Amino acid sequence: MSEALKLYKDDKDIIKLIHTIIYSDNRQFAKAFRSTAVSGIISESALETSAGIQSTLGKNITSLQYLKPGGSFSIKEWFSNSNETGWLFITANPNQRATLCPLISAWISISIKALMCRNPNHDNKNMWFILDELPALQKVSSLPVALAESRKYGGCFVAGLQNIHQLEAIYGAAECASMLDLFNSKFIFRVSDQVTAYKRQFRIRKSREGII
């Protein structure tokens, strides 16, 4: 995918990129990557392999069709601008959510990595990440590390979820437990799931015993 993006980095023509990957035939697809770093595996002499790669890419870039061609906004540059004081909202309409989920997860991951490129020795402004319905996203691989290490870069995280099962299905039970433990403050409202309620009850009881 990175090589495909490099092909259109100058004109930033998303429509042309999507057409090349999804709608071109096998030979046209292979020809587009002839002079790239992946020309060894995407080539006219290995059309079956190229077709498999084209199919996999096609399934994962449908979200790009919602981006407007051109545009110069950069999440990384926005994070690096010390004068920036606004909010960056990353949202999706319900009918677009399933398609845009990979793109939203990628943007959040880029944001986290940009945050952790800050100089920890500087007096960085706090950067708040408000992640409502965290399990609705795909796995954000940089999130566990950010929860553990981003404080020195000014990172602050607030996340919401309905029950623990949703998060465990994405990150696994062990990593889910580790992530939840890294949130120092927890607010527990009405919980209908028994397992989630029990685990939260156990956590509250354990905290009270520690205070006593």
Cα–Cα dist 109/89, whole Å:
14
pLDDT of residue 131: 94
- Is 52 a residue whose pLDDT tops 80? yes
CATH classification for the domain delimited by 75-211, as one of 3.40.50.170, 3.40.50.1370, 3.30.365.10, 3.40.50.300? 3.40.50.300
Domain ranges within the chain, ordered by starting residue: 2-66, 75-211
Q: Tell me what percent of the chain is helix, strand and coil, each rounded to the nearest 5.
A: 55, 5, 40
pLDDT of residue 209: 46
Average model confidence (pLDDT) across the chain: 81
pLDDT of residue 203: 64
- Reading the block at residue 187, the tokens are 């607010």
- Evaluate whether 75 touches 117 at the Cβ level (below 8 Å): no
- Residue of higher predicted confidence among 156 and 60: 156
Q: Which of 77, 53, 65 is nearest to 13 (CA)?
A: 65
